Structures are given as C-alpha cells and as structure tokens.
Amino acid sequence: MAFLSQHLELKQTLTPQQILLSTLLQLPTLALEQRIKQELELNPVLEMVDDVEEEQELEKETETEEEKEKKEEEEVESGTDQTEEIEWDEYFQNDGYEARQEVDHSQEDVEFQNAYKPSLAELLLEQGLELNLSEVEYHIFEELVWSLDDRGYLVVTLEYLSDKLEQSLEVIQTIHRLLMRLDPVGVGARDLQECLLIQIEKRYPNSIAHQIIRDHFEDFANKRYERIIKSLDLTRDDLLDAEELICHLNPKPGDGYLNTHTNYITPDFVVREQDDDFLVTLNDTFIPELRLSSRYIDLLSHQKQLDTEAKTFLKKKVESAKWFINSIQMRRITMMKVMHAIIEYQHDFFMHGKGQMRPMILKDIADRIGMDISTVSRVTNGKYVQCDWGIFELRYFFSEGIESDDGESISTRRIKERLHKIISDEDKKHPISDEILSKMLQQEGFPVARRTVAKYREQLKAPVARLR
C-alpha cells in the first residue's frame, strides 16, 4: 500500500505477531474455538493438554499384567503406599510451556451454541490481513467492515469516517474500494448501483451490461428499456443478453453469511454483582489449553539426527506455536482489561441498569488502559457481555454526549432511549410532533433542538407524527 503512505503518519506494516494477535482479538469466543482447532491441524508442534493426558491414560491402560506386578513389587520394596495422599497441586506445577486457565464452574449455566458459522465481518477481516496494509490503514478497513449492515451495505458515509478517524477522504475512499473488491464482491457498497457496478466491472468490464449499470441504471431499474436501446443503439437481443448478465449479479452480498438458523448469542463475558463489586469472567472455559509437544521438542533437541530441512521446519513450527500460545494469553489479558475498564466507566449502568449510561468513546477506554484505540475497537466489535440487565454488545456502551444546562454530560443513547419510550407510549390517535418532543425532552433536562429530535427519531426508525 505504498501509494497511501504519503497520506498517513504511520507507515510500517504489521508484523506477523501483530497480525496474529489482531486476528484473535477480532474473534468472538466461538470463532476462537474454531481457529484453535484449525491451528492444531496445521501445526503438529501444538497440542491440547487434554489430548496429552488422554494419551498418557491410554498408555497406562495398555501396560501388561507383568509390568503392573513388577511395578507393585518395586513399590512394596521401596515402602511406597499407593493410597498415600498425593500433592496434586505440586504435581501439576511443572507443566512446561502452556496456556493455563482457571476453570470457573459457576459458568456452567451459560448455554453455548453448538454450531458456529463465521460471520461476514470475520471473513472480511481475515482477507484484509492479506492486503499488506499499515496499522492505520487496517484500522480504517476494520471501521468500514464494522459499519456494514446484514445485507453487506455500508450504513455510514465516507465523510463521517474521515472525520471520526481523522484521515483524509481520499484515503478512506481508497480503502473502501479495496473492501468492495474482496469476496463477496460488492460488499461495502453504499447503494444498489454501486454494488452491481463493482461486480460487473470485475466480471464483464467492457460489456453492454456494464454500460447500462454505469450510465443508465435508473432507466434499467424502472424498466425504461426503449430509452436504453435508443441511447446505446442496441438491438432487443443485446438488451436481453445484458439483462441476463445483470440478473446473475448479487444485490445483497451479505445475505449468504447470516446465521439464519439460530438467534442465539453466546456472551464473551459474564458479569455478576458480588459484595457491591463485580466479578468479571471471560466466558472461555471450553477453549482448550495449549502447549508445545514434548515429543517434537525432544526431537529438536537432538538436532544432529535431523537434516537441515527438518531442522528448519521444526524451528518454524515451534516459533509459530509459541506465538499462537502467547497471542491466546495476550487476547485474554487484553479483553479482560477492556471489560474491566468499561465496567468502571459505566459502573452506574451495571449497578442500576438502563438509564444510567455515561457518554463514552473508544478513546476514553484506550486512555484508561494505555492501549491503542484500534485495539479497543477490535475487542469491542462483535463481542457480548451478559449481566443482570441482559446481554449487550460491547459497542452498546459507547456513545457521544451532549452537555446539559448544569454542565453534566448526557449520553446520546440515553436521550434516544427516552425518546423511544415517549413515542412508544404516545396516544396513537394524537402522535406528538418533533417540536413538542423537543420541548418535553428539554423539560426533563435533555437539551435537544427539534432538528436533533428529528435526527434521533429517524435513527430509531420512527416516522414523522403524521405517519404514525
């Protein structure tokens, strides 16, 4: 992405370790389980602790009776009593290089979804890592991905992202074009014409169908075929052939990636109130413990018995396994830091529920824990927390603020929730106008003008008063 470097302050590309950690941070817990299984298949040096223990148990069970008798005789002679109490904690301390975790059985009441299908966002983010983007460029790419709706369309303007990320519009547009050319082609488009145009450009760039979508889309959408035939000097067969091509394009590139078979959400965090404080648990007890295979480590220690190619292969696999284990540990640490910071910032919400939300942006959490905004963004996107008030996506807790007359900063989400409640409870025969809604909110201490009410109402998908 050298052509973007002149626009960006940070030009270095991500290291393999950063790419791996970035990938794992983006994954929700169920996707992480699948990613670990994939890594176990790719890297023989990496193994699950449970598998090792099962293998050891199998070896014990296959001992011959003669070996057992001999072992028993030796134990009697040495004065060892098999019933003697064993210090298991001490026994398991020497466990080599592995990722260990405490098992919290209090989480066993949380139901997990058995089948997992990667989301559109996960598939796109994985492709984005192959684009050789700088850290800043990749963060822009992430923001674009997280701004897609279920159909795969972009729901914010590029100008908005330019202001939010403090990057030039030209840079945002360039990365946006890259996104639309990924699989599925057309994802990230802002409207149907752009969605179809990017697909036809890639598959049939010099076709009549391309001309029609680019220059005569309104006529085509409204079936004004004679105008198209006359304008492009086509025959009826030319138009029919072009129509056939267009009908095979995908108007909703995000549809095929929805988990339509289930609406279950698996929370990544569980938060419980305990003695006027909160117990935060990362909901990953079903994630297997990992460690390096002692078999391959022993093999590598006897390097003289290996040829050069085998040595190189093993060393690469060992390093890769170490990075993966470390990244799993760093993911857990980072996610817990972010969740604790959110709870501290939104303490009143977790203690008392909705209506107690403070204005909070990604930078607030990033500054509190000393990490980059992009890291906080990766942790909060697509992750959910279960608390006493329900299950919420972490992004739910982020919103801008409006300052009240007494200087208090009020969350825009809190204002929208109150507006939604007023509209829901209004007399359906006498719906309330935006002007009256504005006055009602102002009387409750929410300093919002009529235009602001209209904007929030539209975001809540509530029609104007005369149509309600």
Residue 229 lies in a domain: yes
Q: What is the pLDDT of residues 330-367, one digit of tens each?
A: 999 999 999 999 999 999 999 988 767 788 888 899 99
- C-alpha distance from residue 292 to each of 47, 304, 356 (Å): 6, 21, 47
Residue 325 lies in a domain: no
Count up the domains in the chain and report the number. Answer: 2
For residue 13, pLDDT beyond 80: no
Nearest to 140 by CA among 183, 190, 176: 176
Average pLDDT over residues 85-98: 34
Residue 67: pLDDT band (50, 70, 90) is low
CATH number for position 447: 1.10.10.60
CATH number for position 150: 1.10.10.1330
Q: Select from 233, 256, 279 the last residue of a domain.
A: 256
Average pLDDT over residues 294-299: 85
Give the pLDDT confidence score for residue 458 in this predicted structure: 84
Residue 228 lies in a domain: yes
Residue 157 lies in a domain: yes
Residue 165: pLDDT band (50, 70, 90) is confident
Residue 183 lies in a domain: yes
Bridging pattern class, strands 46-48 and 290-292: antiparallel
For residue 80, pLDDT beyond 50: no
Q: What is the pLDDT of residues 412-426, one digit of tens each?
A: 778 888 999 999 999
Q: Select from 207, 222, 256 the last residue of a domain.
A: 256
Residue 466: pLDDT band (50, 70, 90) is confident
Residue 305 lies in a domain: no
Residue 329 lies in a domain: no
Give the pLDDT confidence score for residue 227 in this predicted structure: 95
Q: Select from 237, 256, 275 the last residue of a domain.
A: 256
Domain boundaries, position 188:
120-256
Give the pLDDT confidence score for residue 374 in this predicted structure: 85
Give the pLDDT confidence score for residue 355 in this predicted structure: 67
Q: What is the pLDDT of residues 256-274, one digit of tens each?
A: 775 444 446 889 999 999 8
Residue 74: pLDDT band (50, 70, 90) is low
Average pLDDT over residues 290-297: 90
Residue 438 lies in a domain: yes
pTM as predicted: 0.58
Average pLDDT over residues 199-203: 94
For residue 291, the cross-strand partners are 47, 98
